[in-house]
Amino acid sequence: MQNNIQLIIGLGNIGDVYANTRHNAGWWMADIIQQNFYAQTPWQNQTKMHGAASKAMIKNQQVLLLKPNTYMNNSGVAASSMCAFYKIPASKILVIHDELDLPAGSIKLKLGGSAGGHNGLKSIDQHLGTNKYWRIRIGINHPRNSKLPTIQNQSVSDYVLHVPSKEDIKLIHQSIQKAIENIHLIISGEMEKAMNIIHAV
């Protein structure tokens, strides 16, 4: 249980206008986890945690869930507040976020690494003082890789705040489902086994 996960943080932006946008893919997966794993509590806004919090039971292990309501750029405020209150080290955190550098339908698990321009990760790195936490990277495609000129010419900041195509939504949810089916391995710290399954094409 040395590498077990105690806290899952889904990144996104609060508000109906952002709910279905690419940048909220982390929230999508957090919601599915909360709905499917016998959540002990509904999502509850916690002022001190700067987000909506819940608890789920995955393979007899209780896991804390958090969706920051600070907007993406200040996600670290919520992450650090939760970690400080429950005394959770960075190594036992799983952050779920959208990833421009992966195609829709691809999903990856990794420990640490660069924030890669993702403002939510930058904020978490800053507030935790480390980047040594686990991440699930949900591929959303990069606008420059699109075949549509209207999307190719979008800025990244504009692109992530738009709703994906129906095809991409389907692919993104398929990748999330693949991770969900193996989330018990991640929670229990069987990271290599989880990666071998999740990363397989």
pLDDT of residue 190: 96
pLDDT of residue 40: 72
Provide CB contacts within 8 A for 5, sequence distance 6+.
63, 92, 93, 94, 134, 186, 187, 189
Count helices and strands (H / E) in the chain. 8, 7
pLDDT of residue 2: 64
pLDDT of residue 33: 95
| One-letter-per-residue 3-state SS of 5-39 | CCEEEECCCCCHHHCCCHHHHHHHHHHHHHHHCCC
pLDDT of residue 147: 84
pLDDT of residue 201: 62
Q: What is the C-alpha to C-alpha distance for residues 42 and 9, in angstroms, rounded to an integer?
A: 15
Task: Walk me through the domains of the chain, giving residue ranges and CATH numbers.
Answer: 7-186 (3.40.50.1470)
What whole-number percentage of the chain has pLDDT above 70? 99
CA 13 to chain centre: 12
134 neighbors 110 (Cβ within 8 angstroms) = yes
Is the model's pTM score more than 0.85?
yes
Residues in the chain, pLDDT under 70: 1-2, 201
CA 12 to chain centre: 8
CB atoms within 10 A of CB 40: 12
pLDDT of residue 93: 98
Q: Which residues are catalytic?
A: 23
